Structure 1
């Protein structure tokens, strides 16, 4: 399957590092395995994109450019960032699919041949489900809570794989 996967979209908070809560890009720490996981995906000749809701941008707590710079530093090919508050009713805020559609247009992607990796069922997994992308939920960040007390928020879908962390997700992709 890895040869047919065109791109992998990876959530930020709780998936590549941090705690699942907002941390300013200047203070954000990656999990020890994250850079290895990103490089491994790139070695498969897949596009690797950051895919994140960051409403703190709209509040002035950080800038879009600070996030973009951070993602470039980490090795992402591009970043798709929703800067809007929850109540702004935008089309990009996960679980909406605006960021995925933007990436598909920009890179001529078939979203059926893409993977979404994230730690939140009712945002990351639902967005992936809505475009028929492969869904991998990681147990880091909010992952365990998504599978437990918040599972009722996203009953309409199930992950294709539940990974311990991002590196486990990437290793699973490599075996497909």
Structure 2
């Protein structure tokens, strides 16, 4: 199903691992960051369309004590350099059992990104590779696009309103739904 055309889409939020970069479990080493094929070009196209861009990422490596927040931030800076730049980064450092409001599938990071970008959550689309990404979007009032990987469970695909085969296709869907009204003149 395509994205809802009746919304004024102004921004696009990406999951980090297996969406923008190849997933290295619990990665907090910038040297291990490898973009997903086509990620840089897809992000460039979204930026050129005038969309606000952000990343919303669960990073329980911090809560597990396997890395510091500074190491995660350095890894995110490498992602930003290789694929971005992004207007906002929202990171949940908690583990699944911490009962925080920010860890996807909860809406905290999407709501935080919306506030920091200065747009209502309904004006955002979240692109990710697992059900928690689209569930966080839904819980925040945003739209979600699932880009399945071999690790995405079939029930997650079945539950997603919008599914794209690739990141490039997901960005195409968002740009098409956003229409020409997204073009901003304050961007270079």
- Point out where structure 2 has 5 or more consecutive residues left out of the alignment: 178-188
| Corresponding residue for residue 88 of structure 1 | 98
| Corresponding residue for residue 32 of structure 2 | 27
Verify: 1:118 aligned to 2:128, yes or no.
yes
Alignment of 1:99-110 (within 5 A): 99-110=109-120
* 2:33 and 2:79 in contact (8 A); partners too: no
| Corresponding residue for residue 68 of structure 1 | 76
| Corresponding residue for residue 158 of structure 1 | 160
- Point out where structure 1 has 5 or more consecutive residues left out of the alignment: none
Structure 2 length-normalised TM = 0.79
Residue 162 of structure 1 and its aligned partner are, at CA, apart by: 0.9
* 2:127 and 2:147 in contact (8 A); partners too: yes
In structure 2, the CA distance between the partners of 1:42 and 1:110, relative to structure 1 (3 Å rule), is same
Aligned residues: 167
Structure 1 length-normalised TM = 0.84
| Corresponding residue for residue 140 of structure 1 | 149
Verify: 1:14 aligned to 2:1, yes or no.
no
In structure 2, the CA distance between the partners of 1:22 and 1:64, relative to structure 1 (3 Å rule), is closer
What is the root-mean-square deviation of aligned Cα atoms in Å?
A: 2.4
Q: Hey, what's the Cα distance between the residues in 2 that align with 1:118 and 1:13?
A: 9
Residue 95 of structure 1 and its aligned partner are, at CA, apart by: 0.7
* 2:114 and 2:124 in contact (8 A); partners too: no
